[in-house]
């Protein structure tokens, strides 16, 4: 009798399992394009390393534009689908016309799906002596804050917090370019200026280490 009841119970559990529908919650689609470091450049070409990550259940459309000193040198429109992460070199093999170094190249890519924006990548490189130095943030990350201007760094210095203490081993070097606040902050009776380094928390450097805008830069 016990064996018969056990068999009936097993059969009922099996039937319940067969007829139960399990609903999986799909993860939201995403695309991120990240420029991961400095690149190389000539008067007519540009190369920089990127990582492209995506998980897409339906097609996404992207459009990209590259501008040198405000003049468009490359455009691209295409679609993506599937799930993949890959790292490779982003290349502009030939500009429409040659330019002279040093120059700034701004690259913007926008990814959309069904009319909604998935992500935007907006980066700037400074090309000088064949080296393309990453100046601005890549995605993910915040945009350049209002009231910050691109300026040259004129001395080697640590980066400080609002209390005037060094932030770990963070430092900037003479010859680099960063977006700098137009507002001076007094810390312990000394003049400091906020520096945007592509993160949500900015640091400060001595105002005396801030020079003019980089050579060839046509912005403010």
Give the CA distances from residue 151 to residues 20, 49, 135, 182, 216, in Å, rounded to whole numbers and listed in that order. Answer: 63, 24, 11, 10, 12
Which string of b and e fits 115-134 if b means at least 16 CB within 10 Å? Answer: eeebbebbbbbbbbeeebbb
| 194 vs 185: CA distance, rounded Å | 8
Q: Which CATH superfamily is domain 30-134 in?
A: Immunoglobulins (2.60.40.10)
What are the tens digits of pLDDT across the range 136-160?
655 445 567 788 888 889 999 999 9
**Residue limits of CATH 2.60.40.10 in the chain:** 30-134
What are the tens digits of pLDDT across the range 150-190?
888 999 999 998 888 898 888 888 888 888 888 888 888 88
**Residue limits of CATH 2.30.30 in the chain:** 148-209
What are the tens digits of pLDDT across the range 191-212?
999 988 766 678 899 999 999 9
Sequence-ordered alpha helix ranges (H) in the chain: 2-19
148-209 CATH, one of 2.30.30, 3.30.70, 3.30.499, 3.40.50: 2.30.30
């Amino acid at each position: 009798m016990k064996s018969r009841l056990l068999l009936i119970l097993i059969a009922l559990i099996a039937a319940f399992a067969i007829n139960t529908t399990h609903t999986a919650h799909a993860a939201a689609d995403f695309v991120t394009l990240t420029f991961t470091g400095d690149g190389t450049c000539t008067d007519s070409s540009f190369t920089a390393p990127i990582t492209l990550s995506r998980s897409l259940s339906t097609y996404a459309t992207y459009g990209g534009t590259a501008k040198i000193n405000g003049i468009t040198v490359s455009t691209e429109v295409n679609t993506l689908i599937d799930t993949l992460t890959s790292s490779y070199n982003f290349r502009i093999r030939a500009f429409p016309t040659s330019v002279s170094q040093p120059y700034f190249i701004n690259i913007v890519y926008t990814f959309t799906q069904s009319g909604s924006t998935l992500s935007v990548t907006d980066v700037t490189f400074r090309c000088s002596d064949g080296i393309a130095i990453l100046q601005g943030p890549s995605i993910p990350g915040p945009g350049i804050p209002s009231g910050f201007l691109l300026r040259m760094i004129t001395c080697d210095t640590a980066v400080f917090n609002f209390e005037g203490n060094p932030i770990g081993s963070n430092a900037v070097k003479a010859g680099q370019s960063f977006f700098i606040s137009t507002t001076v902050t007094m810390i312990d009776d000394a003049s400091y200026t906020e520096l945007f380094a592509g993160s949500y928390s900015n640091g400060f450097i001595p105002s005396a280490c801030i020079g003019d805008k980089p050579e060839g830069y046509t912005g403010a």
